[in-house]
Amino acid sequence: MATRTRLLRELKGKTEEFSLNNVGDDLMIWQAIIQGPSDSPYADGKFTIEFRVPENYPFAPPKARFITRIFHPNVHFDTGDICLDVLKSDWSPAWSLEALCRAIVALLSAPNADSPLNCDAGNMIRAGDMRAYNSMARMYTIEFAQERNLN
């Protein structure tokens, strides 16, 4: 009951900063659409993230994954799972789904190559080859996260 009350409050209190809504009538599955930060290779991209909320939320974090394909060291290449400390050890009931969206946008600007889920992206950054990393991230953004002009 506390989970449902909290999620209803989050649904009412959300801002227009992100498109963040529950999926259908299910309060336990949410989707967010975030903009890639302008200071990153993800600029001009729109990325869909899925949150699966556990029954003991907000005392346990949701599972989060990118639906949109993305090249990033902290995002699993195949599953879209996200490696972010607040989704694991640093979780607190003070966090909300909207705050998680902000943290994920920040992660796009400041990837952490020390705990990669995508080893190729992590290796590029650790080797100091930011040109290769930015090129791959930009290519994936253009291919999968930008609206195409079909004319």
Question: What element of type H or E holds 29?
Answer: strand 26-35
Strands in 38-141 per DSSP E: 46-52, 63-66
Among 28, 83, 86, 136, the active-site one is 83
- The tokens describing 128, both together, are 């100091």
The 10 Å CB-count burial string (b at 16+, else e) for 57-69 is bbeebbebbbebe
**Quick check: 71 and 118 in contact, CB under 8 A?**
yes
Three-state SS at 131 = helix
**SS3 assignment, position 31:** strand
Inter-CA distances, 12 with 7, 20, 107, Å: 9, 11, 26
119 catalytic, yes or no?
no
Catalytic residues: 83
